[in-house]
Amino acid sequence: MPSRLNPYLNFRGQAREALDFYRSVFGGEYTVTTFGEFGETPPGVEGDQVMHGQLETSMGFTLMISDVPSSMDLTPGDNITVSLSGDDVDALRGYWERLSEGGTVTFPLEKQMWGDEYGQCQDRFGIPWMVNIAGS
């Protein structure tokens, strides 16, 4: 699978509504994984809220969306992150190292309950990034 670079939008309990809206704008199909599907939910999150939603369009657009727990900051207008994902372990780890250097690691790149390596950081310019390495 080639690596992807795409926007990741965050909401507070409106992720499904947003997915429906963006599908009406761009077309395509989406998939949703809820917090409840992974068992215990974080504080301030209902089990049916979206842990990860992904809209794929016929034009090749990919939009990722999630609900953010109330225990985490969310400011409309600043609720977008850039996501890098794929299965090229060396390339994605290299991007992670360079993006996080001189920035702030907010969630270390490490193995997650869904089986991938995942991490979050802000680069030295304050841009938030997520890196997900599939099945590593």
- Residues, the chain: 136
Mean pLDDT of the region 63-91: 87
Fold classification of 87-136 (topology level): 3.30.720
Fold classification of 1-72 (topology level): 2,3-Dihydroxybiphenyl 1,2-Dioxygenase; domain 1 (3.10.180)
Domain residue spans of the chain:
1-72, 87-136
Assess whether pLDDT exceeds 80 at residue 74: yes
pLDDT class of 92 with cuts at 50, 70, 90: very high
Assess whether pLDDT exceeds 70 at residue 119: yes
- pTM (2 decimals)? 0.72
41 Ramachandran zone, left/alpha/beta (phi>0; psi -120 to 50): beta
Close Cβ partners of 102 (under 8 Å, ≥ 6 residues apart):
123, 124
DSSP string, 17-50: HHHHHHHHHH--EEEEEEGGGGSSPPTT--TTSE
Task: Give percent of the chain above pLDDT 70.
Answer: 98
Tokens standing for 18?
A: 């947003």
